[in-house]
């Protein structure tokens, strides 16, 4: 699994976060745990494969926002078992 963090300029409210989440889900079909924060100016999600950063940047730009950076890192699922 890969965790991707996008630094995004231009998000001002909860609707902006929703627009970005929709774009990510459309461009990265296997995206999970998609979260955006206008206060932090970032979006995060996890996926099976490393996403195409250029494709994400172009799709986000179409909605009027600017991606400042795309960072990926390995993601391991945290196990919170009862035993």
CATH number at residue 43: 3.30.70.100
Q: Which domain holds residue 6?
A: 2-74
Domain count, the chain: 1
Q: Is 60 part of a structural domain of the chain? A: yes
Q: Is 66 part of a structural domain of the chain? A: yes
Token look-up 């990926």 returns 72
Each residue's pLDDT tens digit, 40-57: 999 999 999 999 999 999
Q: Is 13 part of a structural domain of the chain? A: yes
Q: Is 79 part of a structural domain of the chain? A: no
Q: Whole-number mean pLDDT of the chain?
A: 91
Each residue's pLDDT tens digit, 7-18: 999 999 999 999
Please give the sequence-ordered ranges of beta strands (E in DSSP) within 2-79, or none if there are none. Answer: 2-9, 32-37, 42-47, 66-74
Q: Is 81 part of a structural domain of the chain? A: no
- Which residues, including other chains, have CB under 8 Å from residue 40's CB and lie 6 or more apart? none
């Amino acid at each position: 699994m890969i965790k991707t963090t996008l630094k995004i300029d231009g998000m001002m409210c909860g609707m902006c976060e929703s627009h970005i989440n929709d774009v990510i889900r459309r461009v990265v079909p296997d995206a999970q745990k998609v979260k955006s924060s206008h206060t932090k100016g970032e979006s995060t999600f996890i996926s099976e494969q490393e996403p195409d950063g250029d494709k994400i940047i172009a799709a986000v730009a179409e909605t009027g926002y600017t991606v400042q950076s795309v960072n990926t890192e390995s993601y391991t699922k945290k196990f919170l078992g009862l035993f």
